[in-house]
Amino acid sequence: MAELFSRIGAETPIKARLKVSDLSISRGGTPLFAGLSTSVSNGDILWIQGDNGIGKTTLLGALAGLNRAETGTVEWSADNQPCEARDICAYQPHKSYAKPSLTAHEDLTFWAKLHGTLSLTHHALEKVSLGPKANVRTQHLSAGQKRRLALAKLIISQKPIWIMDEPAAALDSDGTALIDELVQAHIARGGAAIIASHSGARVLSSATRTLTLRATT
Amino acid sequence: MINYLANPVRFLKFSKIATPIFGWLSLAAFIWGLYLALIKSPPAIEHGQAVRMMYVHVPAAWCAQMAYTALAIASLVSFIWRHPLADSAARSFALPGTAFTFLALVTGSLWGKPAWGTWWQWDGRMTSVLILLFIYLGYLAIWNIIPERKRAARLASILAMVGFINIPIIKFSVDWWNTLHQPASISSPGAPGFPPEILWPLAIMVLAYTFLFGWLSLRGIEADVVRSRIARANTKPAATAIIETL
Amino acid sequence: MMRAMIKRDLTLAMRSGGTWLYGLFFFAVFIALSAIALGGSLNLMRPFAPALIWLAVIFSAMLSFPAIFQTDFEDGNLAQFKLSNQSLLSLCMAKAISFAALSILPLILATPLAALVFDMPLQNVMATMISLCLAAPALAIYGVLSSAILAGRQGGGFLIVLITTPFIIPLLIFGVEAINGYAQSALAAPELRVLIGLSLISIAVGLPAASAALKAQLE
């Protein structure tokens, strides 16, 4: 599979597709919503909005294969072949998952080793302007800098579909512009993005679809 | 048969008929078996009246092991096919199984007092049954501590299967340990070579316990199926999803 | 990839301000408390010394079990691991190796010290250390399994002891008996072979079960 995805960096991206059919999601036994059908493939930006606690994070988890659907299915495919979520999806959670006692460079290098993209670490750190902070332990980074580190991890994952949970939280205007730029570049290379947020960052303008979760009355 | 019953609706139809049959058969076998065991059968030569404890002890120990085997099989089915009825079954086997294991320990101890002169001996069988109780308690605790039903079912089934593979290893270890540390003069009560007037009541009591286990488990599965149906029927999704193309 | 995982766990432990040493402190405390409870007479304690050391190792290891996956589960690293190209089986294997290195190996190395305070004969010290070494893989793997099953549950401490006890009992039985076996036939003792067998079984059964449990936690 690895060589399949290295092609994303090249000019001919793989055809990745995430298809949701009649999906119902529950959290801790409480149903959140039912009957969701949609699909995301190369070039799409799906913007998920909704109030806190409505189930955005749980939905993203299901799209990334980290929660099982209550009913309905989520199917992932690469070049029209069914595959696993991890073959095409990268997931950026709301919370930072950097290990506090590792430096930014060490933390990123570890994931780069797991993804087999060690050569990209330096480039990714520069891209998110963390170059000068590479040797600082992540516990000493600010919340916004941790977000940037998480963005670097998306870059080194080399997966076509980015699933991002509130990426703009804690970021300054430069940071928001950075997300905008990274997502645009990712889409331009044939990637796709699913972004959950209640605030309207600038990427919204380029979203191809929005999915609104609204409380039933 | 299993395929047919896999549908919860059909299962409830089946259990509506089968459950009372198990219940009444168990009751009848208990009455007959206890009459034979307590009144008809002779007291044993060496243990006297205390031998009657065997008729409640041996079937309990047998059912404790049978229940765990059933639990492990249901867990395997649940793990491979992710079938909710297998989850209900495995979960419902555990509680009667624990009760039988506990009963086997208590009756064994009560029997031990006249037979061995102490309430407890660390002999191979008693120790194995005690460890079986630990395995049951660990299994029940998994269901207890994990709120998401599907996840709990999956993790509990993994533990049950590994535990099942482990049981012969424990048995082997404990027997081996026991022969090293116990003087040979202490033999477990209920050694083989039964005359028929002991074997018959014993067989009927085993039957009575088995039917009781079947009855309790079926009741448990019914309750579990109904409970999860109610949980599903009573809750409406809190949100709707609207998709707009820009 | 397993190397990267193990290296990271060891680095994290080394930078944790010595928390990985707590198991060793517990080991020392357990030995001291048992000696005090038994009245402190060396002649009385000598025959029980291997059993007490075994118990100290088992309890110390059990107390460390919940930590194997707890932080990785809570901070989201486990979810990321599932989305990387690596298998959960190799993660479990890496975790078992780093657990054995961080939480069991120091105890085995501390055994001669414990032997000193019990005045154990050298032969028994050797036997205890060898039996602990042979049982270490199984101990670590069952720790990984129970930690995977209970990952993300608060207050799993007592429960993890309950869940792992049935798996540990055969290890304890043959581990302690191995001291007598070693006195009679040295390395050819059948108990030591059984311990190797138990460790092999744990690799064949415990590791796949642990990775299945992790998968169930993340779906």
Instruction: Kindly report, residue by residue over A70-91, the tens digit of the pLDDT.
Output: 788 899 998 888 998 888 999 9
pLDDT at B137 over 60: yes
Q: Is B35 left (phi over 0), alpha (psi -120 to 50) or beta?
A: alpha
Give the confidence band of B37 by pLDDT, cuts at 50, 70, 90.
confident
pLDDT at C142 over 90: yes
Q: State phi, psi for A135 to the nearest 5 degrees.
A: -100, 20
C-beta separation of C160 from C62 below 8 A: yes
pLDDT at A206 over 80: no
pLDDT of residue A178: 87
Half-sphere exposure of B96 (CA within 13 A, CB side): 26
Q: Are strands A89-92 and A161-165 parallel, antiparallel or unpaired?
A: parallel
pLDDT at C164 over 70: yes
Structure tokens at B36: 């034979």
What is this structure's pTM?
A: 0.90
Q: Is A122 left (phi over 0), alpha (psi -120 to 50) or beta?
A: alpha
C-beta separation of C23 from C125 below 8 A: no
pLDDT at B246 over 70: no
C contacts of A149 (beta carbons < 8 Å): none
Chains with 3 or more CB pairs under 8 A to chain B: A, C
C-beta separation of A197 from A52 below 8 A: no
pLDDT of residue A6: 46
CATH of residue A113's domain is: 3.40.50.300
A42-46, B137-141, B187-191: which range is least confident on average?
A: B187-191
Q: Are strands A16-27 and A161-165 parallel, antiparallel or unpaired?
A: unpaired
Mean pLDDT, all residues of chain C: 91
Q: Tell me how close the Cα of C106 comes to any Cα of chain B, in angstroms.
A: 27
Task: Return d(Cα B100, Cα B116) in angstroms, integer.
Answer: 22
DSSP codes of every residue in C124-168: HHHHHHHHHHHHHHHHHHHHHHHHHHHTT-TT-HHHHHHHHHHHH
Mean pLDDT in residue range A101-121: 91
C-beta separation of A17 from A40 below 8 A: yes
pLDDT of residue B101: 96
C74-131 pLDDT, tens digit per residue, is 899 999 999 988 899 999 999 999 999 999 999 999 999 999 999 888 888 999 999 9
Q: In this structure, is residue A68 part of a structural domain?
A: no
pLDDT of residue B10: 82
**CB contact C213 to B (< 8 Å):** yes
Mean pLDDT in residue range A179-198: 87
pLDDT of residue A202: 55
Task: Return d(Cα A129, Cα A178) in angstroms, integer.
Answer: 9
Mean pLDDT in residue range C7-18: 90
Q: In this structure, is residue A98 part of a structural domain?
A: yes
pLDDT of residue C188: 76
Q: In this structure, is residue A57 part of a structural domain?
A: no
Q: In this structure, is residue A189 part of a structural domain?
A: yes
Q: In this structure, is residue A81 part of a structural domain?
A: no
The range of the structural domain enclosing residue A6 comes to 2-13+39-50+88-212
B62-103 pLDDT, tens digit per residue, is 999 999 999 999 999 999 988 888 999 999 999 999 999 999
Q: In this structure, is residue A100 part of a structural domain?
A: yes
- Please tell me the total count of domains within chain A: 1
Task: Return d(Cα B19, Cα A163) in angstroms, integer.
Answer: 50
Q: In this structure, is residue A6 part of a structural domain?
A: yes
Mean pLDDT in residue range B141-161: 91
Mean pLDDT, all residues of chain B: 85
**CB contact A82 to B (< 8 Å):** no
A99-113, B167-181, C192-206: which range is least confident on average?
A: B167-181
pLDDT of residue C57: 96
Give the confidence band of B9 by pLDDT, cuts at 50, 70, 90.
confident
Going along chain B from its start, the domains and CATH numbers come out as 17-189+196-225 (1.20.120)
pLDDT of residue A217: 64
Task: Return d(Cα A185, Cα B206) in angstroms, integer.
Answer: 73
pLDDT of residue A211: 83
Q: Is A85 in Cβ contact with C80 (below 8 Å)?
A: no
The residue length of chain A stands at 217
Q: In this structure, is residue A170 part of a structural domain?
A: yes
Mean pLDDT, all residues of chain A: 84
pLDDT of residue B13: 85
Most confident of B39-43, B112-116, B189-193, C136-140: C136-140
pLDDT of residue B92: 94
Contacts of A199 (CB under 8 A, 6+ apart): A168, A169
pLDDT of residue C96: 96
Structural element, H or E, at residue B30: helix B8-35
Task: Return d(Cα C91, Cα B87) in angstroms, integer.
Answer: 28
For helices B124-145 and B84-116, what crossing angle results, to 10°? 150
Task: Return d(Cα A215, Cα A199) in angstroms, integer.
Answer: 18
pLDDT at A21 over 80: yes
- Which SS3 state, helix, strand or coil, does residue A71 take? strand
A contacts of B237 (beta carbons < 8 Å): 24, 31-34, 216
- Which SS3 state, helix, strand or coil, does residue C209 take? helix
Structure tokens at B171: 């048995």
DSSP codes of every residue in B77-140: HHHHH--HHHHHHHHHHHHHHHHHHHHHHHHHHHHHHHHHSSS----HHHHHHHHHHHHHHHHH
**Residue whose C-alpha is closest to residue C105's, from C165, C164, C64:** C64
Chains with 3 or more CB pairs under 8 A to chain A: B, C
Q: Tell me how close the Cα of C115 comes to any Cα of chain B, in angstroms.
A: 24
C41-78 pLDDT, tens digit per residue, is 888 888 899 999 999 999 999 999 998 999 899 899 99
**CB contact C161 to B (< 8 Å):** no
pLDDT of residue A10: 46
Structure tokens at C133: 């070494």
pLDDT of residue C153: 82
